[in-house]
Amino acid sequence: MRSAAATPRTAIVPAAGLGTRFLPVTKTVPKELLPVVDTPGIELVAAEAAEAGAQRLVIITSEGKDSVVAHFIDDRELERTLAERGKHDMLEKVRRAAALITVESVVQPEPLGLGHAVSCAEAVLGEDEDAVAVLLPDDLVLPTGVLQTMSDVRAQTGGSVLCAIEVPQQEISAYGVFDVDGVRTDHDTTVLRVTGMVEKPAPHRAPSPFAAAGRYILDRAIFDALRRVAPGAGGEVQLTDAIAWLIGQGHPVHAVVHRGARHDLGNPGGYLKAAIDMALRREDYGPDLRRWLIDRLHSEETHAP
């Protein structure tokens, strides 16, 4: 499976949430701007979408979160100062976000759920766009590349293609979970045929250990489905329910199993792991952090009661 099929032109990034799991910092700083080492999560997601071939990012925001979009606007004054001071490395970092991809935003007027947030992007789609990518910025999926694999699968199967991770039973209730009736492995890619989906099931009701990991390539039919589903888990319009509705209509849905790392940037515990993981991968901070972590853990063991 190495056909390098086109990824949808538009990647939707829902970023309208209040970030309550991250209070108090999210009183003034949107969680999408918190730094993973030195780069905000929203820039990591934009880079991933651009790398897969998407041409524009539609960020769904809410009132008070303008700074998320501002991160993608050139800061001429800062650039001039850095250029004058000969700080070329920093200049490159500052310019990167704006150069990655075209960014637009759509305001979700009320917090009615992930499905509703995605539906807000329909108004800005071109008539010829038959599919969209959706990237949830809380999910950091490493290494990048799964979106391209999902596009390649869609070129073969049609319909919609999602990303699955295998999750232990005690954690499964935090996710949208797949019902699956067929697994095929092609080279190193495992693809599930999805026959149903349920949002945040009780552990004993989860139909499989495979959960949705925040990367979606959705047929445009999703917008019709989103109009039809009633509010579900948490009283919110769920993307999962719209996908389940499409499956019920005979729409093909598959999921690519991601075998690398996946972090949840939406809560402090997951965010810290993501920051450490990313820092360990870097040449500038990795070696020193590794030494310090080993020492720190060693001294904890030696001084444990």
Specify whether the CB–CB gap between 240 and 212 falls below 8 A. yes
Strands 210-219 and 261-264: unpaired
Pattern 174-213, ligand G1P, x by CB under 6 A: -xx----------------------x-----------xxx
Q: Which of 48, 122, 139, 241 binds ligand G1P (CB under 6 A)?
A: 139
Least distance from ligand G1P to the Cβ atom of residue 60, Å: 13
- For ligand G1P, the closer of residues 35 and 234 by Cβ is 234
Among 57, 60, 114, 274, binds ligand G1P (CB under 6 A): 114
Asked if 217 interacts with ligand G1P (CB under 6 A), we say no
Binding piece for ligand G1P, criterion CB under 6 A, among 134-142, 146-154, 215-223, 297-305: 134-142
Cβ proximity of 101 and 46 under 8 Å: yes
**DSSP one-letter code for 214:** E
CB of 241 to ligand G1P, least distance (A): 10
Instruction: For residue 149, give both structure tokens.
Output: 């694999």
Count of positions on this chain that bind ligand G1P (CB under 6 A): 13
Strands 102-107 and 56-61: parallel
Q: Considering beta carbons, is residue 82 or 164 the nearer one to ligand G1P?
A: 164
Query: Nearer Cβ to ligand G1P, position 175 or 271?
Result: 175
Residues with Cβ within 8 Å of 253's Cβ and at least 6 positions away in sequence, in order, are 159, 160, 161, 162, 193, 194, 197, 243, 246, 247
Query: With respect to ligand G1P, which residue has the nearer C-beta, 87 or 228?
Result: 228
Min CB(175)–ligand G1P separation in Å: 4
Q: Are 95 and 69 in contact (CB under 8 A)?
A: no
- Under the criterion CB under 6 A, does residue 256 sit at the interface with ligand G1P? no
Report in angstroms how near the CB of residue 257 gets to ligand G1P at its nearest: 14
- State the residue number with the nearest CB to ligand G1P: 176
Nearer to ligand G1P, 45 or 213 (CB): 213
User: Distance (Å, rounded) from C-alpha 201 to C-alpha 182?
Assistant: 21
Whole-angstrom Cα Rg for the chain: 20
- Our CB check for ligand G1P shows the closer of 13 and 239 to be 239
Please give the backbone phi and psi of residue 70, each rounded to the nearest 5 degrees, phi first. Answer: -60, -25
Nearest distance, CB of residue 174 and ligand G1P, angstroms:
6
Classify 188 as helix, strand or coil.
coil
Q: Are the C-beta atoms of 135 and 45 separated by less than 8 Å?
A: yes
* Under rule CB under 6 A, residue 136 binds ligand G1P: yes
**Cβ closest to ligand G1P, residue 97 vs residue 173:** 173
Q: Shortest gap between Cβ of 97 and ligand G1P (angstroms)?
A: 23
Q: Residue 93 or 200: which CB sits closer to ligand G1P?
A: 200
Residue 214 interacts with ligand G1P (CB under 6 A): yes or no: yes
Dihedral angle computed from the Cα positions of residues 28, 29, 31 and 34, in that order, rounded to the nearest 10 degrees: -150
Q: How many CB atoms lie within 10 A of CB 201?
A: 17
- CB-CB neighbours of 2 under 10 Å: 9
Which secondary structure element, helix H or strand E, spans residue 35, and what is its range? strand 35-36
- Residues within the interface to ligand G1P (CB under 6 A): 114, 136, 138-139, 175-176, 199, 211-214, 239-240
